[in-house]
């Protein structure tokens, strides 16, 4: 326990010091973590000894990351992506793998070793690439789509690759276990589908109703860990299983709640993963064979980047982003560590080459942020002569509706009918069930939580409709939105005059009192029944509304002062009655004049 | 059938138009559509208006003249009901061959409508906007029925106009039924 706390202290301390500095100086968070790892690892201050087990544990960060990516990706979109994934991904793997293997053979490796290592190096680092794309808001850009498709294929391809490497060895594979293995794999995937599609939602509904927040978080983690274990037990990729579960839950109302609960764990574990990669860079190899290692790193990055840039047009990467695509995916990834380990055990790869290649992979990962900085430098010079032509391709909804009761529903239906996409937040599981039956996309959660609001896309949305019942929650949400998302426009529902004043005092301009307009309509209907003509009834209601709003605005500067409020409200009412009386007289005088 | 599109913001406050309307209402095939009573919020039910027009051979626009033109809601009615593609433009043949009658009242006496008068032009100068609205939709334009000096007009004179109005509608209905 003391060890765990000590290690945590070191990891967290190093991250807190290094990452903000790296980010500030434009190096990006990934490089910050890697530097932190190097600092505290065996080649730095030697504060941490256990590199391999940390790396293994921290790989769970990658699992959580893929779960979150899955949550962002509905099944429909995944199916739409299949050509990019299988066509583009396999093209990248064969092209990069072949050239890299040939290069390694030229360095004196046997064809078996070169094939295994070449394919392993063709895999990119999902962790580094995705984290970098997130940091640069590239996930929804065309280059992000293509990169992600390639990474997804690599995650799928890594499994057979790891399974096939032993067959290259002198010892050969065990064989025979194929049938059983395949059956286990199919059963595990079926298990994930059943859990993700049928079990999770009723369970989460039950847990949400218990209203114990931390149990919801616990359940979210349990879900991902459980699926990861199930997949690992069947010899499949944990990350792939988590991704699949995420996709299955992407259309569920708990998507944003899951996202906001899992995201902090993902962030920390992914950070730990990068730290572990930093620690595992073997500077012994660097010192012993600097020339060969430099050749390996530079060769790896050059070959991969060139091949990627060449095949980029086939993957529908825009011309101007070809080299960005290449820089994002040029590094080798975490799967390479595993493949090298397996290859050494199967006597395909010599021990000294394993160490050398592992160091090269880690250094290539560390080089990614530097490559991107180089790309930025090159393009910013070009950008001065060339206007930015990027289209903002963002599939997040422009409107968030908090509270989908009777009020929010009308607002939502009007917008929806105009083809405007809306994200709905509500915290009543029963209400959500009803709404979903009518085909709405509704998410469970407390809208006054910053993380949930962020997960719902508040940073990119144009408009927040505050239609929740509870006055205190409504005001808390407005405060939160104004503080954290100052560009987000607000349309608010006021329960009563007091609520209207509180909202107006916060600078909200689009406020409607929930019963005011409908009451005026009833007043008009009453006047019509009593013989007033419909159009005149409308004018009377308009005059009343105008006068009433004037009174409200007069109250605004003083509404926290009870006595003054009462006085103004009373004089306001008198003034209103006086004005309406004058209006009535004017109308009577108008009889016979003007209109004929 | 005869569609009578009536646009008066305060029907109960009217004298001249009310008398005229009552006279027309008695004609059996007349359907009165009072715009300000039906659409006080200016939310014209375009489909319902068009249905009535399609079923009618004669379309009457009756309203007090305001600022040398129709009241606001009647203008909105022109803009939304007589839209391109329905009443005009490509495929806009819904009103072709129908007949249109304009019935209006003015506040000023007819003497005001002279080159030297308060309105600067003869009344005929203000007719073409209405006339072309009808003719552009392919309708036959009948000579308009205009009651000048509606504020001061004597009851007898007003009743005369009303009777003439009624007679014109009756003879149109008889002609339509006979031919």
Instruction: Please name the residue of chain B whose CA is at the shortest distance from the CA of residue A591.
Output: B13
Has residue A393 got a pLDDT over 50?
A: no
Give A528 to chain B, closest Cα distance, Å. 10
Region A375-399: mean pLDDT is 58
Return mean pLDDT, chain B.
94
Q: What CA–CA distances, in Å, run from A144 to A73, A170, A316, A438?
A: 13, 41, 11, 33
- Is residue A466 within 8 A of residue A399, CB to CB? The reply is no
Q: Out of A534, A535, A592, name the one closest to residue B15 (CB).
A: A592
My answer on whether A449 and A344 are in the same domain is: no
- Position A387 scores a pLDDT of 38
Region A368-376: mean pLDDT is 86
> Are A596 and B41 a contacting pair at CB < 8 A?
no
Give A391 to chain B, closest Cα distance, Å. 35
pLDDT tens, A6-20? 888 988 999 999 989
Residue A461: inside a domain, yes or no?
Answer: yes
Q: Which of chain A's residues have a Cβ under 8 Å away from the Cβ of B157?
A: none
Looking at A51-60, A187-196, A237-246, which range is the least confident one? A51-60
My answer on whether A524 and A504 are in the same domain is: no
My answer on whether A504 and A401 are in the same domain is: yes
Closest alpha carbon to A244 in A200, A297, A291: A200
Instruction: Please name the residue of chain A whose CA is at the shortest distance from the CA of residue B15.
Output: A596
Q: What CA–CA distances, in Å, run from A428 to A173, A217, A400, A404?
A: 55, 18, 17, 9
My answer on whether A548 and A472 are in the same domain is: no
Region A259-266: mean pLDDT is 87
- Position A390 scores a pLDDT of 33
DSSP β-ladder status, B2-6 and B58-64: parallel
Whether the CB of A176 is below 8 Å from some CB of chain B: the reply is no
Looking at A105-109, A464-468, B91-95, which range is the least confident one? A105-109
Has residue B175 got a pLDDT over 80?
A: yes
pLDDT tens, A122-150? 999 988 898 888 877 787 778 888 898 89
My answer on whether A370 and A405 are in the same domain is: no
Instruction: Please name the residue of chain A whose CA is at the shortest distance from the CA of residue B63.
Output: A596
- pLDDT confidence band for A468 (50 / 70 / 90): very high
- Is residue B173 within 8 A of residue B2, CB to CB? The reply is yes
Q: How far apart are CA A385 and CA A80, in angstroms?
A: 36
- Position A139 scores a pLDDT of 78
Return mean pLDDT, chain A.
84
Domain carrying residue A501:
396-514
Give B74 to chain A, closest Cα distance, Å. 14
My answer on whether A163 and A243 are in the same domain is: yes
The CATH number that applies at residue A477 is 3.40.50.720
- Is residue A340 within 8 A of residue A358, CB to CB? The reply is yes
Q: Tell me, what's the ipTM? A: 0.83
The three-class DSSP label of residue A391 is coil
My answer on whether A333 and A368 are in the same domain is: yes
My answer on whether A472 and A407 are in the same domain is: yes
pLDDT tens, A66-102? 888 888 777 787 788 888 888 888 999 999 999 999 9
Closest alpha carbon to A256 in A56, A89, A68: A68
> Are A596 and B16 a contacting pair at CB < 8 A?
yes
My answer on whether A184 and A297 are in the same domain is: yes
Assigned token pair, B151: 């504020």
My answer on whether A268 and A349 are in the same domain is: yes
- pLDDT confidence band for A592 (50 / 70 / 90): very low
- Position B60 scores a pLDDT of 98
- Position A507 scores a pLDDT of 94
**CATH number of the structural domain B2-178:** 3.40.50.360
The residue of B10, B16, B64 whose CB has the most chain A CBs within 10 angstroms, and thus the best one to mutate to test that interface, is: B10
Q: What CA–CA distances, in Å, run from A559 to A251, A503, A552, A554, A564?
A: 45, 12, 9, 9, 7
Region A406-424: mean pLDDT is 89
Element (H, E) at A169: none
Q: How far apart are CA A422 and CA A411, in angstroms?
A: 10
- Position A2 scores a pLDDT of 63
Q: Out of A533, A590, A594, name the one closest to residue B37 (CB).
A: A533
Give B142 to chain A, closest Cα distance, Å. 23
Residue written as tokens 């005009």?
B88
Residue A389: inside a domain, yes or no?
Answer: no
- pLDDT confidence band for B110 (50 / 70 / 90): confident
With 0-12 / 13-18 / 19 or more C-beta atoms within 10 angstroms meaning exposed / middle / buried, residue A326 is: buried
The CATH number that applies at residue A145 is 1.20.1530.20
Region B138-154: mean pLDDT is 95
Give A536 to chain B, closest Cα distance, Å. 7
Has residue A173 got a pLDDT over 50?
A: no
**3-state per-residue secondary structure call for A19-74:** HHHHHHCCCCHHHHHHHHHHHHCCCCCCCCCCHHHHHHHHHHHHHHHHHHHHHCCC
Q: How far apart are CA A374 and CA A328, in angstroms?
A: 12
- Position B141 scores a pLDDT of 98
pLDDT tens, A193-247? 888 888 888 888 888 888 787 888 899 899 999 998 998 888 777 888 888 888 8
Give B69 to chain A, closest Cα distance, Å. 13
> Are B9 and A595 a contacting pair at CB < 8 A?
yes
Residue A43: inside a domain, yes or no?
Answer: yes
Assigned token pair, B174: 């008889």
- Count, residues in chain A: 596
N-term to C-term CA, chain A: 94
Residue A388: inside a domain, yes or no?
Answer: no
Instruction: Please name the residue of chain A whose CA is at the shortest distance from the CA of residue B16.
Output: A596
Instruction: Please name the residue of chain A whose CA is at the shortest distance from the CA of residue B8.
Output: A595
Q: What CA–CA distances, in Å, run from A357 to A114, A290, A293, A327, B14?
A: 11, 13, 8, 20, 97
Residue A391: inside a domain, yes or no?
Answer: no
Q: How far apart are CA A475 and CA A307, in angstroms?
A: 55
Q: Out of B9, B15, B17, name the one closest to residue A535 (CB).
A: B9
Render A86-119 in DSSP notation, one character per residue. Answer: IIIHHHHHHHHHHHHHHHHHHTT--HHHHHHHHH
- pLDDT confidence band for A389 (50 / 70 / 90): very low
Q: Out of B40, B41, B105, name the one closest to residue A596 (CB).
A: B105
Has residue A177 got a pLDDT over 60?
A: no
- Position A104 scores a pLDDT of 92
Domain count for chain A: 3
Q: Output phi, psi for A48, to 5 deg.
A: -125, 135
Has residue A175 got a pLDDT over 50?
A: no
Contacts of A550 (CB under 8 A, 6+ apart): A572
Has residue A61 got a pLDDT over 70?
A: yes
Residues on chain B bordering chain A, Cβ-to-Cβ distance under 8 angstroms:
8-17, 36-38, 40-41, 64, 66, 105-107, 150-151
- pLDDT confidence band for A386 (50 / 70 / 90): very low
The residue of B12, B13, B42, B151 whose CB has the most chain A CBs within 10 angstroms, and thus the best one to mutate to test that interface, is: B13
Going from N- to C-terminal start, the domains of chain B cover 2-178
Report residue A459 CA to chain centroid gap. Answer: 12
Assigned token pair, A83: 């050509």
Q: What CA–CA distances, in Å, run from B22 to A141, B26, B58, B154?
A: 68, 7, 18, 17
- Position A157 scores a pLDDT of 84
Q: Which of chain B's residues have a Cβ under 8 Å away from the Cβ of A523?
A: none
Give A531 to chain B, closest Cα distance, Å. 10
pLDDT tens, A540-573? 999 899 888 888 888 888 888 777 778 877 887 8
Cβ–Cβ pairs < 8 A, chains A and B: 45
Q: How far apart are CA A369 and CA A328, in angstroms?
A: 9
Has residue A392 got a pLDDT over 90?
A: no
My answer on whether A486 and A522 are in the same domain is: no
Has residue B59 got a pLDDT over 70?
A: yes
Q: Which of chain B's residues have a Cβ under 8 Å away from the Cβ of A593?
A: 151
Whether the CB of A593 is below 8 Å from some CB of chain B: the reply is yes
Whether the CB of A591 is below 8 Å from some CB of chain B: the reply is yes
- pLDDT confidence band for A1 (50 / 70 / 90): low
- Position A85 scores a pLDDT of 87
Report residue A438 CA to chain centroid gap. Answer: 27
Higher per-residue confidence, A439 vs B32: B32
Q: Out of A535, A593, A596, name the one closest to residue B36 (CB).
A: A535
Q: Which of chain A's residues have a Cβ under 8 Å away from the Cβ of B106?
A: 596
Region A253-281: mean pLDDT is 85
Give B13 to chain A, closest Cα distance, Å. 5
Whole-structure pTM value: 0.58
Render A105-162 in DSSP notation, one character per residue. Answer: HHTT--HHHHHHHHHHHHS--HHHHHHHHHHTT-TTSHHHHHHHHHHHHHHHHHHHHH
Has residue A388 got a pLDDT over 50?
A: no
> Are B10 and A595 a contacting pair at CB < 8 A?
yes
* Strands in chain B per DSSP E: 2-6, 30-34, 58-64, 99-105, 140-141, 145-147
Residue A278: inside a domain, yes or no?
Answer: yes
Q: How far apart are CA A376 and CA A126, in angstroms?
A: 21
Q: How far apart are CA A425 and CA A432, in angstroms?
A: 9
Q: Which of chain A's residues have a Cβ under 8 Å away from the Cβ of B105?
A: 596
Residue written as tokens 């009310």?
B18
> Are A533 and B12 a contacting pair at CB < 8 A?
yes
My answer on whether A376 and A419 are in the same domain is: no
β-partners of residue B137 are none
Among the candidates A333, A356, A383, a domain finishes at A383
């Amino acid at each position: 326990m003391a060890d765990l706390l000590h290690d945590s202290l070191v990891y967290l301390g190093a991250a807190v010091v290094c990452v903000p500095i790296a980010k500030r100086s434009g190096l990006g968070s990934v490089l910050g973590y890697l530097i932190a790892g190097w600092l505290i690892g065996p080649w730095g201050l030697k504060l941490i000894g256990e590199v391999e087990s940390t790396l293994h544990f921290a790989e769970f960060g990658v699992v959580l990351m893929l779960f979150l990516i899955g949550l962002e990706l509905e099944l429909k979109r995944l199916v739409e992506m299949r050509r990019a994934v299988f066509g583009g991904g396999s093209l990248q793997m064969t092209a990069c793998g072949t050239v890299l293997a040939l290069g390694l053979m030229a360095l004196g490796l046997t064809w078996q070793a070169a094939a295994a290592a070449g394919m392993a190096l063709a895999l990119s680092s999902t962790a580094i690439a995705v984290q970098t794309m997130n940091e640069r808001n590239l996930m929804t850009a065309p280059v992000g789509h293509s990169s992600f498709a390639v990474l997804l294929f690599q995650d799928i391809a890594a499994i057979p690759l790891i399974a096939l490497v032993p067959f290259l060895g002198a010892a050969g594979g065990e064989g025979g276990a194929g049938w059983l293995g395949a059956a286990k794999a199919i059963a595990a995937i079926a298990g994930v589908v059943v859990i993700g599609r049928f079990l999770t939602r009723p369970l989460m509904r039950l847990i949400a109703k218990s209203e114990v927040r931390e149990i919801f978080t616990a359940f979210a983690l349990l879900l991902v860990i459980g699926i990861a274990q199930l997949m690992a037990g069947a010899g499949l990729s944990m990350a792939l299983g988590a991704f699949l579960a995420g996709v299955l839950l992407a259309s569920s109302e708990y998507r944003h709640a899951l996202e906001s609960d899992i995201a902090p764990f993902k962030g920390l574990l992914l950070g730990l993963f990068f730290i572990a990669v930093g620690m595992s860079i073997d500077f012994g190899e660097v010192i012993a064979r600097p020339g060969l290692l430099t050749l390996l790193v530079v060769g790896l990055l050059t070959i991969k980047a060139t091949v990627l840039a060449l095949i980029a047009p086939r993957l529908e990467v825009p011309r101007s982003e070809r080299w960005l695509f290449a820089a994002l995916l040029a590094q080798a990834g975490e799967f390479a560590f595993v493949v090298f380990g397996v290859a050494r055990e199967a006597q395909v790869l010599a021990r000294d080459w394993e160490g050398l290649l592992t160091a090269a992979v880690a250094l290539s990962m560390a080089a990614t942020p530097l490559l991107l900085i180089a790309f930025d430098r090159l393009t910013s010079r070009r950008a001065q002569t060339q206007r930015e032509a990027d289209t903002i391709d963002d599939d997040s909804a422009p409107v968030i509706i908090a509270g989908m009761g009777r009020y929010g529903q009308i607002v939502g239906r009007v917008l929806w009918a105009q083809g405007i996409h809306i994200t709905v937040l509500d915290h009543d599981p029963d209400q959500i069930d009803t709404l979903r039956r009518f085909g709405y996309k509704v998410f469970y959660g407390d809208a006054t939580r910053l993380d949930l609001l962020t997960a719902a896309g508040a940073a990119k949305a144009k408009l927040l409709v505050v239609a929740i019942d509870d006055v205190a929650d409504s005001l808390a949400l407005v405060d939160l939105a104004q503080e954290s998302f100052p560009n987000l426009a607000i349309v608010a529902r006021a329960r009563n005059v007091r609520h209207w004043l509180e909202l107006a005092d916060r600078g909200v301009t689009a406020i409607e009192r929930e019963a005011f307009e409908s009451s005026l309509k009833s007043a008009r209907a009453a006047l019509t029944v009593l013989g007033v003509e419909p159009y005149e009834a409308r004018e009377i209601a308009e005059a009343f509304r105008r006068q009433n709003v004037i009174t409200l605005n007069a109250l605004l500067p003083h509404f926290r002062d009870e006595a003054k409020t009462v006085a103004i409200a009373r004089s306001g009412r008198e003034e209103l009655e006086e004005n309406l009386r004058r209006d009535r007289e004017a109308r009577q005088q108008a009889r016979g004049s003007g209109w004929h | 059938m005869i569609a009578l599109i009536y646009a008066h913001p305060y029907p109960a406050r009217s004298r001249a138009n009310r008398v005229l309307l009552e006279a027309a209402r008695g004609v059996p095939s007349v359907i009165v559509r009072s715009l300000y009573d039906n659409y006080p919020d200016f939310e014209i039910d375009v489909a319902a208006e068009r249905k009535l027009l399609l079923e009618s051979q004669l379309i009457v626009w009756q309203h007090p003249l305001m600022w040398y033109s129709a009241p606001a809601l009647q203008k909105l009615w022109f803009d939304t009901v007589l839209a391109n593609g329905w009443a005009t433009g490509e495929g806009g043949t819904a009103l072709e061959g129908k007949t249109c009658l304009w019935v209006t009242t003015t506040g000023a006496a007819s003497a005001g409508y002279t080159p030297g008068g308060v309105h600067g032009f003869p009344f005929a100068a203000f007719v073409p906007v209405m006339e072309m609205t009808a003719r552009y939709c392919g309708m036959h334009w009948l000579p308009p029925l205009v009651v000048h000096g509606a504020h001061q007009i004597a009851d007898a004179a007003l009743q005369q106009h009303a009777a003439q109005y009624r007679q014109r509608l009756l003879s149109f209905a008889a002609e339509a039924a006979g031919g």
